[in-house]
Amino acid sequence: MAHIFDRIFTRVCHVKVGFEDRRRHIESEFAARGVPFEFFLDHDIADLSKDEIAASPLAAPQYSLARKHIAIWEEFLTTDLPYCLVFEDDVFLAQDFVAKLAVCLDEMGSPDRFCAVYLGNGSNYYIAARELVSGRHLYAGNRSRCTDSYLITRPVAAARLDWLKRNPLDRSIDLQLDVIDPQLGVEILWFERPIVEQGSQNGSFQSSLSYQPRPLWQQAIRWNWKKLKRKVTGHA
């Protein structure tokens, strides 16, 4: 099924210097699953001017990450590919990631569909078990499920960029999308069950955005307990 990536612009947000453990992890993880990708390295904090950072209401790491996502959408639109797949650099992929991604594309239908699909379980958001339908994988969500792993189409990328030309970037990228997409009428979809997990949430990596990180073992316990609970009860 590797041919599906001929239609997908795939980028992983990363930095030029530092977080080498994440780089090694991503290279190993994506190779093991057969997922071709490129790191996106522009808009590091060091690349941004002091005035630009000072003018933003966001902390420098949040602003840098947001700029990376936005620049990836811009670069995507310079290609003729129908899909854009974006990851952050702490993700773990399900063993059947490629097969499930193919299912996702089939269920989406038209590549012109005005939708964003969140592939991961960011913040442990799940559709309740009682609401799952056999054979169905895409469910309406009411917000992003973080921005560690998502798929968008060309119309969505173009509309988001147009919105940002007219409005300020004043929230972290996931919260900004919770403002942008409902205003634009973007169909927000959650892939169930998720096929990506965020390492800085499940206790595998310290968060690069948190100033008061918990010990990794504590984070892992809290995460896994919530995951078990919310797979049953849901969380939205």
* Residue 30: C-alpha distances to residues 2, 55, 69, 75, 95 (Å): 12, 36, 19, 21, 10
Task: Tell me the pLDDT tens digit for each residue of 175-206.
Answer: 999 999 999 999 999 999 999 988 766 656 56
Cα 201 from Cα 91, distance rounded (Å): 10
Whole-number pLDDT of residue 231: 62
Q: State the average pLDDT over residues 24-40.
A: 97
Local confidence band at 134 (pLDDT 50, 70, 90 cut-offs): very high
14: number of Cβ within 10 Å = 20
**Which pair of structure tokens corresponds to residue 108?**
């989406």
Decide: 173 and 66 in contact? Cβ < 8 Å. Answer: yes
Q: State the average pLDDT over residues 128-133.
A: 93
Decide: 84 and 72 in contact? Cβ < 8 Å. Answer: yes
Decide: 119 and 46 in contact? Cβ < 8 Å. Answer: no
Q: What are phi and psi of 93, to 5 degrees?
A: -100, 145
Domains in the chain, ordered, with CATH? 2-233 (3.90.550)
Which residues partner with 138 through β-bridges?
A: 191
**Which pair of structure tokens corresponds to residue 104?**
């996702």
Average per-residue pLDDT in the chain?
A: 90
Q: How far apart are the first and last CA of the chain?
A: 32
**Which pair of structure tokens corresponds to residue 164?**
């940002």
Of 67-76, 78-87, 208-217, give the lowest mean pLDDT range: 208-217
Would you list the DSSP string of 91-135? EEE-TTHHHHHHHHHHHH--TT--EEEE-B-GGG-B--GGG--TT
